[in-house]
Amino acid sequence: MAQKLKAALRNLLTTKLDLPPDVMMDLPRITMIGQLHIYIENHKGLLSFAENEIRVLLENGQLLIKGKGFVIKAILPEEILLEGRISQVSYLDSK
């Protein structure tokens, strides 16, 4: 019940105050540049990393990125810049 109320309040504040949803609703912001770079903001941590697959923890699930030759170019507490040949990006729901 508290989760639903919290989500409704965030949605109302986002709409009325004209704030970006990713900021108010704790959503990730994912920016891709072609198949070469992916920039992930507002994540909760790196779960696994391999040359061909990376898993990133989100507030409500995981982001699975598949491809080849992955290299982490930058990693900060809430930001990751990944370089390589990206072939697939999937959202894995935690529910």
Task: Decide if 34 is inside a domain.
Answer: yes
pLDDT at 12 over 70: no
Can you tell me the distance from the alpha carbon of 42 to that of 84, in angstroms, rounded to the nearest whole number? 21
In a domain, residue 37? The reply is yes
Answer whether 66's CB lies under 8 Å from 85's CB.
no
Name the strand (E) or helix (H) holding 95. none
Residue 35, domain member (yes or no)? yes
- Determine, yes or no, domain membership for 57: yes
Residue 13 confidence (pLDDT): 61
Please check whether residue 69 lies inside any domain of the structure.
yes
9 lies in a domain? no
- Return the higher-pLDDT residue of 17 and 83: 83
Q: Which domain holds residue 32?
A: 27-93
Asked whether residue 86 is domain-assigned, the answer is: yes
CATH code, domain with 34 = 2.60.40.2000
Q: How many domains is the chain partitioned into structurally?
A: 1
Higher pLDDT, 25 or 65: 65
Helix (H, G, I), strand (E, B) or coil at 19: coil
Q: Is residue 3, in this structure, part of any structural domain at all?
A: no
pTM equals 0.75
